[in-house]
């Protein structure tokens, strides 16, 4: 094969054309008018391990001959594929990084690509999609109650961000679509925390109290070391309950900014729950033994939280005031009943998710009752 460089020098880009030609041919004859062509061609070929003979270059053994091709595995992903995308050829001798989550049976999900594109398409813009400039005014006790609920929501968002974030760097990169789903989930939670925090400061009130039980409940989510168990506790049971709370607030909150931020967050949360439920359903279909492991993780968490009070009572009371929109006894009475109904709705939602994963109806009812009283 011949490469015509014209007046392009080897040391000014000509070597790129020679390297390109060597991909297809074992021997390449180089023509050009640069007086230094032959000398620089020899120096370049020497450094790359090619043979050079006048203006002819003989290709060396390829760096990627004998390498490995990255594929979607049915079993364990090869650590030596490293960070490369599926389809890439990886050089032999590449140092293996340790990705503990390398088993397709645990990690891979054929629905991940669809979930990711729908998540990417539905990203919302807090600056554009929330009516921050609305001139609403709430009575002080109602504003205080809204801020107490938002304080609790922010805490939950931080935990919901941290759990997938700890698993992200443990997932083998060949399962790229699953990594993408979890990464966008982390970004969603960051945005939720940001808009809730902004609403907290909007009328100068700021955060309320943070209870010991709620903190303990969230910490126990981060303590779960197993990926699927943590997914189950956070995204099926926790977010499965949380999304009901957000929807209730979207209906009942007294101001348009709070209604907007919880409505937008609820859209994302519903997607987080859908992915987790679908993923665990498929895992259980392949290996029903996972039902016992997941139930065990739930019981362990429940035992660990037995000595705590669960939901901060300030949060429960604040929910009632938020739903009432005033301290009017009639309104408070109606709202109290509505919050009690919300708690029942959360329980029914969890039972539905548990059944979809594959738990029999009776154990779905029992397991839902084991869920933390902190909702998340």
Partner 1 sequence: MLLLGAVAYDPKVVPIWEGICAWLQAHGVDVEPVWFFRYETLVQALVSGGVDVAWHSPLAVVQTERALHRRGRTLRLLAMRDTDQDLTSVIVARRGGPSSLDTLRGRRIAVGAWDSPQATLLPLNHLQANGVRPGKDVDVRTYDLLVGKHGDHVGGERLAARALRDGDVDAAALFDGNLLAFRADGSLPDDAEVIARTGMYDHCAFAALTGHREAELDAWTRVLLTMRWEDPVVRVLFDLEGLREWRPGRTHGIEPLRHAVATLDHEAADRVRRFADTL
Q: Which residues are near Fe ion by CB under 5 A?
A: 157, 160, 189, 192, 239, 269, 272
The span from the CA of 370 to the CA of 353, in Å, is: 14
Structure tokens at 48: 């790359």
Contacting residues for 262 by C-beta, under 8 A, at least 6 apart: 153, 246, 247, 249, 250, 253
The span from the CA of 76 to the CA of 91, in Å, is: 19
Task: List the interface residues with partner 1, window 112-171 (CB under 8 A).
Answer: none
Name the minimum Å distance from CB 79 to partner 1.
14
Name the minimum Å distance from CB 1 to partner 1.
22
Our finding on whether 11 is near partner 1 (CB under 8 A) is yes
Name the minimum Å distance from CB 133 to partner 1.
50
Size of the site for partner 1 (CB under 8 A): 20
From candidates 93, 135, 204, 329, binder to partner 1 by CB under 8 A? 93
In the bound state with partner 1, the residue whose beta carbon lies nearer, of 64 and 136, is 64
Closest CA to 289 of 339, 241, 355, 358: 358
The total of other beta-carbon atoms located within 10 Å of residue 269's CB is 27
Q: Which does 61 bind (CB under 5 to 8 A by kind): Fe ion, partner 1, none?
A: partner 1
Q: Which does 334 bind (CB under 5 to 8 A by kind): Fe ion, partner 1, none?
A: none
Structure tokens at 73: 């595995």
Name the minimum Å distance from CB 190 to Fe ion.
9
The span from the CA of 32 to the CA of 138, in Å, is: 80
Q: Which does 160 bind (CB under 5 to 8 A by kind): partner 1, Fe ion, none?
A: Fe ion
Question: How many angstroms from the chain centroid is the CA of residue 52?
Answer: 52
Phi-psi label, residue 66: left if phi above 0, alpha if psi -120 to 50, beta otherwise: left
In the bound state with partner 1, the residue whose beta carbon lies nearer, of 90 and 168, is 90
Q: Which does 65 bind (CB under 5 to 8 A by kind): partner 1, Fe ion, none?
A: partner 1
Name the minimum Å distance from CB 302 to Fe ion.
21
At CA 336, angle to CA 330 and CA 337, rounded to 5? 95
Name the minimum Å distance from CB 94 to partner 1.
8
Task: List the interface residues with partner 1, window 271-330 (CB under 8 A).
Answer: none
* Coil, strand or helix at 68: strand
The span from the CA of 194 to the CA of 270, in Å, is: 19
Q: Which does 15 bind (CB under 5 to 8 A by kind): partner 1, Fe ion, none?
A: partner 1
Q: Which does 42 bind (CB under 5 to 8 A by kind): Fe ion, partner 1, none?
A: partner 1
Name the minimum Å distance from CB 169 to partner 1.
24
Closest CA to 165 of 189, 196, 191, 186: 186
Q: Which does 92 bind (CB under 5 to 8 A by kind): Fe ion, partner 1, none?
A: partner 1
The binding track of 35-74 with respect to partner 1, each residue x by CB under 8 A or -, is: -x--xx-xxx-xx-x----------xx---xx--------
Helices (H), the chain: 14-24, 37-48, 104-107, 112-121, 126-129, 140-167, 176-201, 212-222, 227-231, 239-252, 256-286, 290-304, 313-324, 329-357, 361-370
Residues that bind partner 1 (CB under 8 A): 10-12, 15, 36, 39-40, 42-44, 46-47, 49, 60-61, 65-66, 91-93
């Amino acid at each position: 094969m011949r490469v015509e460089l014209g007046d392009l020098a080897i040391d000014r880009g000509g070597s790129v054309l020679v390297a390109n030609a060597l991909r297809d041919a074992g021997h390449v004859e180089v023509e050009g008018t640069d007086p230094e062509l032959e000398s620089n061609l020899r120096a370049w070929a020497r450094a790359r391990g090619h043979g050079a003979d006048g203006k002819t270059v003989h290709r060396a053994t390829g760096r990627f001959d004998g390498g490995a091709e990255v594929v979607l595995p049915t079993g364990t992903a090869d650590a030596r594929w490293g960070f490369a995308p599926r389809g890439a050829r990886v050089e032999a001798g590449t140092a293996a990084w340790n990705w503990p989550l390398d088993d397709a049976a645990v990690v891979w999900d054929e629905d991940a690509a669809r979930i990711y594109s729908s998540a990417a398409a539905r990203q919302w813009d807090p600056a554009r999609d929330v009516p921050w400039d609305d001139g609403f005014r709430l009575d002080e006790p109602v504003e205080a109650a809204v801020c107490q609920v938002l304080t609790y929501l922010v805490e939950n968002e931080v935990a919901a961000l941290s759990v997938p974030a700890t698993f992200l760097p443990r997932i083998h990169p060949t399962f790229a679509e699953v990594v993408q789903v979890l990464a966008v989930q982390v970004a969603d939670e960051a945005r939720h925390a940001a808009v809730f925090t902004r609403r907290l400061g909007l009328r100068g009130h700021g955060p309320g109290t943070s209870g010991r039980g709620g903190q303990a409940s969230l910490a126990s989510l981060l303590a779960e070391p197993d990926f699927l168990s943590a997914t189950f506790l956070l995204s099926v049971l926790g977010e499965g309950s949380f999304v009901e709370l957000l929807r209730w607030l979207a209906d009942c909150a007294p101001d348009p900014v709070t209604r907007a931020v919880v409505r937008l967050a609820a859209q994302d949360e519903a997607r987080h729950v859908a992915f987790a439920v679908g993923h665990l359903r498929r895992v259980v279909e392949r290996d029903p033994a996972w039902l016992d492991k997941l139930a065990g993780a739930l019981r362990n968490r429940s035992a660990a939280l037995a000595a705590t009070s669960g939901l901060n009572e300030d949060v429960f009371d604040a929910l009632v005031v938020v739903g009432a929109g005033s301290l009017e006894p009639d309104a408070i009475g109606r709202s109290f009943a509505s919050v009690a109904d919300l708690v029942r709705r959360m329980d029914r939602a969890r039972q539905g998710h548990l059944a979809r994963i594959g738990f029999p109806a009776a154990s779905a009812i029992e397991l839902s009752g084991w869920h933390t009283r902190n909702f998340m």
